[in-house]
Each structure stands twice: as structure tokens, then as C-alpha cells.
Amino acid sequence: MSQSALTFGNFINKKRKIKGITQKNVADALGVTTVYVCDIEKNRRYPPTKGDMLSKLAKILTLNEDEKNILYDLAGSDKGCAPPDLTEYIMSSDIIRTALRTAKKKATTDDWQQFIDNLHKK
């Protein structure tokens, strides 16, 4: 399954099964019902995007940094919004929003790659 066809629920289900964790284990650790976890996995409910539920879920599933980023990206994508881990950061500063709006109008993929490369050099 390509990542473009991957949903939050599919991702959670796959990672949970690989780790040998039951829906009940996940539900108990998150403080929710098993039905809630089942509904999320079957894409009958939107992913959680508030509070620390996503970070708890990442810990329960022992996700690495790349997998955690996919988790957040899918949570945002399935709800049609920015990934929840970025929303607070974007809203925290006028300069960030100005930079993103400017980039939206003028930045190329090469510009973004150069920006990322420069940040990695710091």
C-alpha cells in the first residue's frame, strides 16, 4: 500500500499488529474505549488531533521519528488540516506565518530543499 493510499486508521492497525498489541491494550493506555480504537482503525472516526493522545499513541506503538511524523501527517490529512504537531508552531509566531505565505507564492521545491539543508548545517 502506498503512503498516498494510507490512512491514519490503516497505519495504526498495521503498526499495532506488528507490535503484537491488542486494541484493548491501546484503549487502556489511552484511557478510551476499545470501540473508539476500533472505529479509528476502521476509519469510522476522525483521528485525534488535540491534547497529547497522538504522542501517547506514538509511545505505545514505539514509533521512530519518521513513523511519528507519518502518524501526525496522516492525522492532519484525514481531517483535512495541517499536521497537529505543526499547527501550534505555525500559530506561535507572525514571522512563521508570513514566511509560509511568502513561500506559498514564490518558493520552489529547490528553495525548500536549500532551506532544509541550511537548517541541517546549524
CA distance 104 to 99: 8
Give me Rg for the CA atoms of the chain.
17
If we measure between CA atoms, which residue out of 78, 23, 32 comes closest to residue 51? 32
Say whether both 48 and 107 belong to one domain: no
Query: Is 50 exceeded by the pLDDT of residue 2?
Result: no
Say whether both 7 and 52 belong to one domain: yes
Say whether both 24 and 75 belong to one domain: yes
pLDDT at 4: 55
Count how many domains the chain has: 2
Share of the chain above pLDDT 70, in %: 96
What confidence tens digit (pLDDT) does each residue in 62-108 have?
999 999 999 999 999 988 888 988 988 999 999 999 999 999 999 99
Share of the chain above pLDDT 90, in %: 83
H/E stretch holding 24 reads helix 23-30
Q: What range defines the domain where residue 109 resides?
A: 92-122
Say whether both 109 and 79 belong to one domain: no
CATH number at residue 20: 1.10.260.40
Say whether both 16 and 57 belong to one domain: yes
Say whether both 75 and 105 belong to one domain: no
End-to-end CA distance of the chain: 36
Eight-state DSSP code of residue 61: T
Average pLDDT over all residues of the chain:
92
Say whether both 17 and 39 belong to one domain: yes
pLDDT at 10: 96
Name the residue with cell 504522542: 55
Query: Is 90 exceeded by the pLDDT of residue 16?
Result: yes
